Amino acid sequence: MKHLLKLLDLTQEEIVSLLDLADRLKAENKAGIPHPILKGKTLGMIFEKSSTRTRVSFETGMFQLGGQALFLSSRDLQIGRGEPVQDTARVLSRYLDGIMIRTFAQQEVEDLARYGSIPIINGLTDFCHPCQVLADLQTVREHKGTLDVNMCYIGDGNNMANSLIVGFLKVGARVSIACPENYQPDAQVLEFAKAYPGKFFMTDKPMEAAKDADVIFTDVWTSMGQEEERAAREKAFEGYQVNAQLLSVAHEGCMVQHCLPAHRGEEITEEVFEAHADEIFDEAENRLHAQKAVLVACMQDVQE
């Protein structure tokens, strides 16, 4: 695998082999078996938005793989002062072995890959969050023993919704999503979902989407960069909350997942969050293992 720009680019086999590698790296990590597969390699991590999990899991992951990571805030880089991405890509390609980028426009990530000559990993854009959803797939498979599940997403048709729909459909799951009419997933994703007749269902009624779910996902109503829309969004998403009533129509033992950070009392109740905290923090932990698999798949190829 050369890059991880979006899950739309990956085959089912590529996704499953990343999950298998993530499981192996996790088991080795738990057993204290070192795996310095990327010894001597450097990952640059460009952040144009805030992060807790992505930053810490990528940095720790590179360290555990024997390499190192550089935190590059756009506030300090020349890219934040208008240096073109084409030039940034070509310069950083001369120093680094890979780049992880968190930014706004998906096009910026695609341009880095186009102009640079090293692997590019998408650490979240307005369009998608592929690393998160690889960790989500790993967590669901770990807990349920299969990906042949009914996956439900409640809330904003945002970057998380886009990646969840693509990732879960690609591995054979059934996907139901509930979002308000004006907050539907990206048109490109809805077009992709058309290739899965009978497996994709979209409604504006959360209870319909949650029926018989094996796992329910949600995410914040106001994503990074949308802060000025907060009041309008709070109104639009009233009723799109993961709560006990919603879970009552799901399958028994239904998992609840949240990429975090969570806003208790908005998209999820405190009660549901705490009842499913173990699953949610397993999900957060798996960011580390799933991303190490991505780093190995992308950056090991480069050195050989």
Residue numbers at the binding site for ligand CP (CB under 6 A) = 51-54, 124, 132, 259-260
CB of 117 to ligand NVA, least distance (A): 29
Q: Where are the beta strands (DSSP E) in the chain?
A: 42-47, 68-73, 98-102, 120-122, 150-154, 174-178, 200-203, 215-218, 255-258
Residue with tokens 């390699």: 41
Using rule CB under 6 A, residue 161 touches ligand NVA: no
Work out the burial of residue 303: count CB atoms within 10 Å of its CB; fewer than 13 is exposed, 13-18 middle, 19 or more buried: exposed
B/e letters for 255-270, b = 16+ CB within 10 Å, e = fewer, are bbbbbbebeeebbbbe
| Binder among 21, 70, 207, 224 for ligand NVA (CB under 6 A) | 224
Q: Which partner, ligand CP, ligand NVA, none, binds residue 52 by CB below 5 to 8 Å per kind?
A: ligand CP
Q: Should residue 262 be labelled a site residue for ligand NVA when binding is judged by CB under 6 A?
A: no
Cα Rg of the chain (Å, integer): 19
Q: Cα separation of 128 and 159, whole Å?
A: 4
Q: Determine which one of 128, 186, 219, 289 is catalytic.
A: 219
Asked if 162 contacts 186 with a C-beta cutoff of 8 angstroms, the reply is yes
Interacting partner of 269 out of ligand CP, ligand NVA, none (Cβ under 5 to 8 A depending on kind): none
Q: Which does 223 bind (CB under 5 to 8 A by kind): ligand CP, ligand NVA, none?
A: ligand NVA
Rounded (5°) CA angle 101-4-153: 90
Please indicate whether residue 128 is annotated as part of the active site. no
- Does residue 259 have an active-site annotation? yes
Task: Pick the binder of ligand NVA from 96, 259, 268, 298 (CB under 6 A).
Answer: 259
Cβ–Cβ under 8 Å, residues 99 and 115: no
> Tokens 């129509």 — which residue?
249
Choose from ligand CP, ligand NVA, none: what does 160 bind? Cβ within 5-8 Å by kind: ligand NVA
Distance of closest approach, residue 292 Cβ to ligand CP, in angstroms: 16
- CA 137/CA 44 separation, integer angstroms: 26
Q: Which does 262 bind (CB under 5 to 8 A by kind): ligand CP, ligand NVA, none?
A: none
Yes or no: say if 217 and 153 are a contact pair by the CB < 8 Å rule: yes
Closer residue to ligand NVA, CB minimum distance, 129 or 289: 129
Binders in 101-140 for ligand NVA, by CB under 6 A: 124
* Residue 24 annotated among the catalytic residues of the structure: no
**Is residue 131 flagged as an active site residue?**
no
Among 220, 290, 293, 299, binds ligand NVA (CB under 6 A): 220
State the sign of the Cα–Cα–Cα–Cα dihedral 75, 77, 82, 88. negative
Tell me which of ligand NVA, ligand CP, none is bound by residue 286, counting a contact when its beta carbon lies within the kind-specific cut-off of 5 to 8 angstroms: none
Marked catalytic residue, from 3, 53, 97, 132:
132
Catalytic residue numbers, as ranges: 102, 129, 132, 219, 259, 287
Using CB under 6 A, list all residues that contact ligand NVA.
Answer: 124, 158-160, 219-220, 223-224, 259
